Structures are given as structure tokens and as C-alpha cells.
Amino acid sequence: MIIFFSGTGNSHFVARELAKALGENQLVHLKGELLFDPLKSRLSTTDKRIIWVFPTYSWGVPPVIKRFMNEATIKGAESAIHYMVTTCGDDIGETASQWRKIANKKSWHTATAYSVIMPNTYVLMKGFDVDPVNISKEKLELAPERIAEIARRIKNEVPGDILTKGSWAKIKSKIIYPWFVRFCMSPKPFRSNGRCIGCGKCSKSCPMHNITMDGDRPKWHDRCALCLRCYHICPCDAVEYGNATNDKGQYFLE
């Protein structure tokens, strides 16, 4: 079983490629009620392994993944071996340690953890933007080889993580990450500008069902994963996050 969450397509791509390489038939996409109300989830597997695939959020586990792992009922999870594969723009800090702590609280047996560098998607702070086209292309060209190596190691139960932790990993994950989660994940700054054509694409594609259409304009509510899918998927560049997204680029991997 592969359980994945993806906002802009990077983690979805990795999950699909892993499924092909490993012959995994059970691919669970965390979205909708399964994601925003995990207490109602009743997943079941007889697979000997469960692979968690998700993006790194500010050098940590996305809060929606943490909540799902804590609250969801997954029949067969106790007898499976759990793996982590996280996508990142550059490095992941101590994300793997966070993921293991969450899994251990559920008495799940964790094996190896991996990271895959993919194009940057975070644009909500000064100095953060999508990668230039050439950098994005290079990352996408290198990703399949990394994914194939991860699949080989999982299939053969090779010990040892393969992670890009980066410098100052503990500071990033133990200080910046909790600050980010507490102060930088509000959906309140989201708005649409005059370029909005009322197509509703942001509302239809939101994995949290957090965006409704008020007439011909989108309206954000308080159930947001901050995955930025609405921003990156907008065909008219009409989604803004206060002034933070001024002159920022978009990226979406189908």
C-alpha cells in the first residue's frame, strides 16, 4: 500500500512511479473527507509494507499527515513495515525523525526513510519562489533515477536511510518548523484578484474541500492544508496570498 498526499503534483508523481516500480496496486490518495476527517477513515491492507509519500513542510511533516497518522484507522498497519518517502525543494531537516515518532506512537514498525528533490513550490515568504525553468527541469530529470533506487532498496529491504537533511537540520526542524506551523499556515490571506474568471478550478481541486464559490469568486475557509494547489493551478494567476505572492511564479506537475 502507498498512502500519499500531494498539493502541486510532486508527491503524486513520486507515488505513481514507486507504485509502477514495486507493483503496488493499492494507491491511496489522501484528499477530501479521508484527509480532513481521518477519524472516519477505515482503510485496510494485507500488504506487508505501507509507504508514506508526502511533501516536506518547512523541514517537517505536514500537519495534515501528522493528524491523519494519529487519528486514522488502518487495519493491518500494525503488522506491516512502514517506509517514508518525502519530496522537498532542497533539504528535509529532521522530517524522518518526526515521522518515526508519530508512527512509533501507533506501535507501527518503521524501516527506511528517503527524500526526493523536486521543483520548489513554496512562494508565501520573501525570498521563496519556484525554481527557474532550467533548475526545475534538471530536478525532474534526476528524480526518476532516485525513485528507482528507492524502489530497489525497499523491494530488497536494504537497511539505511537516504536523505538530504541539509545544514542546521535540528534547528530547522525543532525551531523553525513549529514556528512555521503556528504562525505561517493561516488561510486568511488567500484572495482572488481582478484576473479571476470564476472558473472554479481552485475550488474543485482543493484536497481539503476548503474553497467554495461565492458567486463567481472563490472563498477560502479555515480548513486549509496550505498545499498551495489553488495558487499554482489557477490558469489566470488570480490567486494571491496577501502581498507575499506578488511577482512569484507558478508550478504544477500534472
Question: Which pLDDT score is estimated for 254?
Answer: 81
Q: Residue 207: pLDDT band by 50, 70, 90 thresholds? A: very high
Q: Residue 103: pLDDT band by 50, 70, 90 thresholds? A: very high
- The fourth-level CATH superfamily of domain 2-182 is Flavodoxin domain (3.40.50.360)
Q: Alpha-carbon distance 112 to 84, whole Å?
A: 7
Q: Is the pLDDT confidence value at 8 over 90?
A: yes
Q: Which amino acid, residue 252?
A: F
Whether 2-182 and 190-241 share one fold: the answer is no
Q: Residue 118: pLDDT band by 50, 70, 90 thresholds? A: very high
Kind of pairing, strands 211-214 and 217-220? antiparallel
Q: Alpha-carbon distance 58 to 91, whole Å?
A: 9
Question: Which pLDDT score is estimated for 152?
Answer: 98
- Kindly state the average pLDDT of the residues 51-58: 98
Q: Alpha-carbon distance 223 to 60, whole Å?
A: 19
Instruction: Name which CATH class applies to 190-241.
Output: alpha beta
Q: Alpha-carbon distance 98 to 31, whole Å?
A: 22
pLDDT mean across residues, the chain: 97
What is 198-249 written as a DSSP string? ---HHHHH-TT--EEEETTEEEE-S------HHHHH-TTS-EEETTTTTT--
Q: State whether residue 73 is helix, strand or coil.
A: strand
For the chain, the domains span 2-182, 190-241
pTM exceeding 0.95: yes
- Kindly state the average pLDDT of the residues 115-121: 98
In tens, the pLDDT along 132-182 reads 999 999 999 999 999 999 999 999 999 999 999 999 999 999 999 999 999
- Kindly state the average pLDDT of the residues 206-230: 97
